[in-house]
Amino acid sequence: MTDTLHRLLRTPQGMLGLVLLFVLLLACVFGPTLAPYDPDAIDFLGRFAVPGARHILGADQLGRDVFSRLLAGARATVPLALAATLLGAAAGAVIGTLSAYLGGLWDEAIMRTVDAVMAIPGLLLALLLVSTFGGGALNAALAIGIAFAPGMARVTRSVALTARQADYVSAAIARGESGGWIVLREMLPNVAAPVIIEATIRVAFAVMLFSTLSFLGLGAQPPLAEWGLMVSEARPFLHQAPWVIVVPCCAIALTAVSFNLLGDGLRDALNPRDEQ
């Protein structure tokens, strides 16, 4: 574990990704405390204040400080995107490994179902699920997790198929181990590396998807300072006060980029062929 971290820090992408994520973590934990203003405090005289000494990143249509809202919003955006990805990755990894282990007709049945679900675009599926379950941040996270599971299942299955052929799985079958043990204890730890890498890349998608749902009014509800919601609310004033929309957009992009960088770094660090 420490060895992996060490190798991760030696790759430039991994290093940069980790630094950016650390900043993000600080924003999630201490965001509201660090914020110079109350993120929800309305100030009619300070509407559309230009970024400057008073408001570092300006103020929005209600005079709320954009920088404070950005810091407070990290907590509403990033943890839920992470949770959604973890849910999707865990479900997908188990389904994919199980499918590879069962093989034959079961494999066909599971993977064709997965294909059918994958045929629906992720956003559309998430929209469908949210409109079924009802809106709200938690439901949006759940919907994103479900939308991610088929893709993760595909990735996992392709790796698990090679693990299925390995002699340690044969040895477990010959020993008379149960299917659950073989899938969870013998195969899953050996397919973890690619799943972790794929998941870090998908966190970025989750942030964007979550923002998109909020933007469409199906995720977080106003007046919460969620980044996607901030973009959505600032849209009518795009020409009047561009900073109000540009700032949360940049935050979303930067989060996506930092998770992508971490994923790239992990791909190199977890590659056992780089042992030498």
Partner 1 sequence: MTPALSVQGFTLDYTTRHGTRRVLDGVDLVIAPDEVVGLVGESGSGKTSLAWAIMRHLPRNAHEVAGHILLGVTDLRAAGPRAVNALRGRRMGMVFQDPSTALNPTLTIGRQVTEVLTYHRGLSGAAAWHAAVDALRHVHLREAEALMRRYPHQISGGEKQRVVIATAFACQPELIIFDEPTSALDVITGARILALFAELRRQTGVAALYISHDLALVSRVADRVAVLRDGKVVEEAAADTVFRAPHHDYTRRLVDAVPRPERRLVFDAPGEGSLLRAEKIAVRYARRRLFRAAAPPATHDIGFAIRPGEILGVVGESGSGKSSLARALTGLAAFSGGIQFAGRTIAGPRDMDRDYRRAVQIVFQHPDASLNPRQTIGQILSRPLRLYGGDPRSVPALLEQARLPADYARRHPHQLSGGEKQRVAVARAFAARPRLVICDEITAPLDVSVQASIIALLLALREAHDTAYLFITHDLNLVRQIAHRVAVMRAGEMVDLLPTEALSGAATHPYTRELIAATPVPAGT
Interaction site with partner 1 (CB under 8 A): 166-168, 170-171, 173-177, 186, 189-190, 275-276
CB of 138 to partner 1, least distance (A): 34
Nearer to partner 1, 15 or 193 (CB): 193
CB of 106 to partner 1, least distance (A): 15
Nearer to partner 1, 107 or 177 (CB): 177
CB of 9 to partner 1, least distance (A): 14
CB of 101 to partner 1, least distance (A): 14
Nearer to partner 1, 113 or 190 (CB): 190
Nearer to partner 1, 41 or 173 (CB): 173
DSSP secondary structure of the chain: -HHHHHHHHHSHHHHHHHHHHHHHHHHHHHHHHH-SS-TT---GGGTTPPSSSSSTT-B-TT--BHHHHHHHHHHHHHHHHHHHHHHHHHHHHHHHHHHHHH-HHHHHHHHHHHHHHHTS-HHHHHHHHHHHH--SHHHHHHHHHHHHHHHHHHHHHHHHHHHHHSHHHHHHHHHT--HHHIIIIIIHHHHHHHHHHHHHHHHHHHHHHHHHHHHTTSSS-TTS--HHHHHHHHGGGTTT-HHHHHHHHHHHHHHHHHHHHHHHHHHHHT-GGG--
